[in-house]
Each structure stands twice: as C-alpha cells, then as structure tokens.
Amino acid sequence: MPISIIKMTIKQVFIANLKKYRKIRGLSQMALADLCDIGYNYIGHIEMGRRIPSFEKIEKIASVLEIPYSALFVAETTEKEMVKKVEIDEYLKKMPAPIRRKLVARMTSAIKKGIEASLNP
C-alpha cells in the first residue's frame, strides 16, 4: 500500500505500518494485543494515535508481527512516485518566483473553496 508523497509524521507512518502489518498477518487488534501480552484495547489506542508505545512494546509488536522493528517506521513510496516528485520539484525550482507565487495562491484558493464546499453541502 503506497503512502502518499505528502509528508507524514513519524507517528502517522508508525500507525499506518502497524495497521498494514497487523492486517497482513490477519490479526485483530485484540488478537495482536493478546499475543503481545498487553491490554486488550491498547493496540486500538495506538492505531487511533491516543497512545504511544514504549520501545520495548514496539520491539514486542514487531516480533509478533515477524518484521524488523524498523519496518514500522519506514514510509513507503513507489519508485514511480519518487521519480514524479523529483520531476515536479525540479520544474518548480526552475519556475520564476512571481509565477510560482501566483500558482501557489491559486492552488490555495482552490483548496480552500473545495474545503468550504465540502463543509457546506
């Protein structure tokens, strides 16, 4: 499941990967918590961002999921996304500053209108 190029926080990456690997293993939150010898709703709290596990718990979770603990902290991107990002970055760097500012202003306005429209159907 490729993760968007949009920058994610390490917490968001951790949560996304925890969910992904738990589902790959076919485990419910409760089953994973049981296998890790932790509270039955602890994994749910982690996946909702309400709790942050200790290093020891992260190692235990990774062990139960049969993955290296570092896999929980790696944001995935496809090679195609990386190439596209580099191309876009290079294009924007070459763009004259006044045009770049105008583009950003238009994009910001369009995003704002889209958000307002979704909030006021």
Residue spans of the domains in the chain: they are: 10-73, 79-119
Measured in Å, how far apart are the chain's first and last C-alpha atoms?
Answer: 31
Q: Token match 């738990």: residue?
A: 22
Task: Please name the fold of domain 10-73.
Answer: 434 Repressor (Amino-terminal Domain) (1.10.260)
pTM to 2 decimal places? 0.59
Measured between alpha carbons, how far is 61 from 20 in angstroms, rounded to an integer?
Answer: 13
SS3 51: coil
Average pLDDT score, the chain: 85
* CA distances from residue 83 to 8, 27, 79, 104 in whole angstroms, order as listed: 18, 34, 6, 22
Q: What is the pLDDT of residue 112?
A: 85
5 or 88, higher pLDDT: 88
